[in-house]
Amino acid sequence: MSAQTQSHAISRYPVPALEDLPEDIRSRILAVQEKSGFVPNVFLTYARRPDEFRAFFAYHDALMEKDGGLTKAEREMIVVATSGANNCHYCVVAHGAILRIRAQNPLIADQLAINYRKADITPRQSAMLDFAMTVALDAQDITDEDFDALREQEFSDEDIWDIAAIAAFFALSNRMANFTSMRPNDEFYLMGRLPKEK
């Protein structure tokens, strides 16, 4: 198969068979499958480039799975808002699902993907997203005033790095997803929308 868009293909590029993958990558994919019940297509899309796969997910985990001044839900808010601004269908749908679950809020992802200024968030989260959007769209314009606005909301310098690094990492991720026409798994669309889901 060549790198053409195909109806409902996972990616423009061929996806390797699980049994052909290096052991560490296969293990990670099987683990996520066991936990989620399916394999998110981002894993299959990147698997054909093992070194890039390892670096991508190591970077992702370093930013998204850590503790710190931002909650995990807030980290996902940054992903969803900036991915919406970058018109990245995969990231909005997949991380929208994770955000709904982590925030236990079925509405928040759709709000943030379209216009974070209209979302049910706190002023502190609004300042966080103002800055994340600047990193995503106008990083060349960042000045000390941007830092001041975050410190007024009691973000530490480490928190500010986290906000910027998440927005910057998804600048990469959004571009790769749009380039490969990465398709979000159908499962993501409904996740976290029903009242009783954890």
What single DSSP character describes residue 76? H
Spatial separation of the C-alpha atoms in residues 58 and 4, rounded to whole Å: 29
Spatial separation of the C-alpha atoms in residues 149 and 131, rounded to whole Å: 9
Spatial separation of the C-alpha atoms in residues 174 and 92, rounded to whole Å: 9
Q: CB neighbours of 173 closer than 8 A, spacing ≥ 6?
A: 56, 60, 83, 88, 91
Q: In terms of Cα–Cα distance, which of 66, 86, 82, 95 is closest to 132? A: 82
Paired tokens of 89: 């269908």
Q: How many residues bind its own copies (CB under 8 A)?
A: 70
- Displacement of CA 113 from its chain's centroid (Å): 12
62 makes contact with its own copies (CB under 8 A): yes
Selected range binding its own copies among 16-24, 26-34, 68-76, 170-178, rule: CB under 8 A: 170-178
- Among 17, 30, 31, 139, interactor with its own copies by CB under 8 A: 139
Nearer to its own copies, 59 or 149 (CB): 59
171 makes contact with its own copies (CB under 8 A): yes
Task: Give the N- to C-terminal CA distance of the chain in Å, as an integer.
Answer: 39
In which residue are the tokens 């049994």 written? 19
Q: Whole-number minimum distance, CB 43 to its own copies, in Å?
A: 16
152 makes contact with its own copies (CB under 8 A): no
164 makes contact with its own copies (CB under 8 A): yes
- Among 21, 44, 113, 128, interactor with its own copies by CB under 8 A: 113
Say how many residues make up the chain.
Answer: 198
4 makes contact with its own copies (CB under 8 A): yes
Residues between 68 and 107 with contacts to its own copies, criterion CB under 8 A: 84, 86-89, 92-93, 96, 106-107
47 makes contact with its own copies (CB under 8 A): no
In which residue are the tokens 């993907």 written? 113
- Among 28, 54, 72, 124, interactor with its own copies by CB under 8 A: 54
Give the type of residue at 185. Answer: N
Chain contacts with its own copies (rule: CB under 8 A) = 2-5, 7-8, 12-13, 49, 51-52, 54-56, 58-59, 61-63, 84, 86-89, 92-93, 96, 106-107, 110-111, 113-115, 117-120, 135-136, 139-144, 147, 157, 160-161, 164-165, 167-169, 171-176, 178-179, 181, 183, 186, 189-190, 193-194
